[in-house]
Amino acid sequence: MSMPRLFTRVLTFKVEGEIYDRDTKPEDIIRNYTFAFKDYGDGKDHFFVEGSHKDVRGRITKIIRLPKIHRWKIPDTEFFLKL
């Protein structure tokens, strides 16, 4: 098995949600979420992204990953990780 190379990409999502007052914008609801990457830790390629918030003005109800994948600002590295 060869050593892995590192890469960075930006994924895009379509976000749907609910707002409970007239003064709040969708961006306000999305910014109040804290997102965290969670690994199953089973050595397989399973993971999930967890979002949480304490904002009572609205909530995200659905997220769909869009097909477009963008490059990040910095180039991929040719450094290898030793596992």
Residue 83 pLDDT class (50, 70, 90 cuts)? low
7 within domain boundaries: no
2 within domain boundaries: no
Say yes or no to pLDDT of 70 above 80: yes
52 within domain boundaries: yes
Say yes or no to pLDDT of 51 above 80: yes
Tens-digit pLDDT profile for residues 58-69: 999 999 999 999
3-state secondary structure of 27: helix
Provide mean pLDDT across the span 15-19.
Answer: 96
Say yes or no to pLDDT of 25 above 60: yes
5 within domain boundaries: no
19 within domain boundaries: yes
pLDDT at 71: 87
Which DSSP string corresponds to 28-69?
A: HHHHT-EEEEEE--SSSS-EEEEEE---SSEEEEEEEEEEEE
- Domains contained in the chain, number: 1
